[in-house]
A and B are shown apart, each in its own frame.
Chain A
Amino acid sequence: QKEVEQNSGPLSVPEGAIASLNCTYSDRGSQSFFWYRQYSGKSPELIMSIYSNGDKEDGRFTAQLNKASQYVSLLIRDSQPSDSATYLCAVFAAGSASKIIFGSGTRLSIRP
């Protein structure tokens, strides 16, 4: 079982709709959770971090964390073509020798 799992996609969402990206993780001791956005040919960019159960909102982005179910999600409201990218879920776990574990990413495509 992979430590951080994401659906590879592509996930196609119409412009203006809500895009929902999901991620599950295996280590119950995980402490910090991150969402990165990566455009083709570019390096990842941190867009959200979340540490406690519940929702965290930042502009059009909402991160949701449920530690009991071991999943973290990212909602993008009012999706724009510029949101088309690969979204990487990342988890920092106490037992991971002090490193972040990345999922393989979900490709999101916003269609006009």
Chain B
Amino acid sequence: GAVVSQHPSRVICKSGTSVKIECRSLDFQATTMFWYRQFPKKSLMLMATSNEGSKATYEQGVEKDKFLINHASLTLSTLTVTSAHPEDSSFYICSARDMSGRDPNEQFFGPGTRLTVL
């Protein structure tokens, strides 16, 4: 099946710093990737849709200048949390669709990145 990786798996940073999270599709090309955030015991929240070669589409209420998304290649999307604060501490998960797979609508998730901002 399609494999998606994320790096780092866990990061702890000081308030005010920026953190970059990478999402890679390892064995397929992904023109579209998705970034989610999940707080403890809460459901997945879609933050933005990342499109290769164009601007990301952000969900309502998500600050695009706070959460910078770059999808520079067909296998890599990055999410940068700028000037992170403790309230940004969360589990960030990316997913990708394999457009050449059996169902181009299936989404495969990365293992997630746990961000803790002190």
Known A34-B106, A98-B32, A99-B49; contact A43-B111, beta-carbon cutoff 8 A:
yes
A5-40 toward B: CB 8 Å interface, digit per residue (1/0)?
A: 000000000000000000000000001101010000
Known A42-B112, A43-B110, A43-B111; contact A32-B44, beta-carbon cutoff 8 A:
no
Q: Contact: B44 with A46, CB < 8 Å?
A: no
Q: Contact: A100 with B111, CB < 8 Å?
A: no
CB contacts (< 8 Å) of A92 on chain B: these are: 105
Q: Contact: A42 with B111, CB < 8 Å?
A: yes
B69 within 8 A of A: no
B109 within 8 A of A: yes
CB contacts (< 8 Å) of B107 on chain A: these are: 34, 46, 90, 100
B43 within 8 A of A: yes
Within 8 A of A (CB), among B51-97: 57, 91, 93
Contact among A45, A49, A90 for B103, CB-based, below 8 A: A49
Q: Contact: B44 with A49, CB < 8 Å?
A: no
Q: Contact: A43 with B49, CB < 8 Å?
A: no
Q: Contact: A102 with B112, CB < 8 Å?
A: no
23 examples of A-B residue contacts, CB within 8 angstroms: A32-B103, A34-B106, A34-B107, A36-B109, A41-B91, A43-B93, A43-B111, A44-B44, A44-B93, A46-B106, A46-B107, A46-B109, A49-B103, A88-B44, A90-B107, A92-B105, A98-B32, A98-B49, A100-B105, A100-B107, A102-B43, A102-B44, A104-B43
A residues touching B (Cβ–Cβ < 8 Å)? 31-32, 34, 36, 41-46, 49, 51, 88, 90, 92, 97-100, 102-105
8 new A-B contacts, CB < 8 A, other than A31-B105, A46-B109, A88-B43, are A43-B93, A46-B106, A46-B108, A98-B32, A100-B105, A100-B107, A102-B46, A103-B43
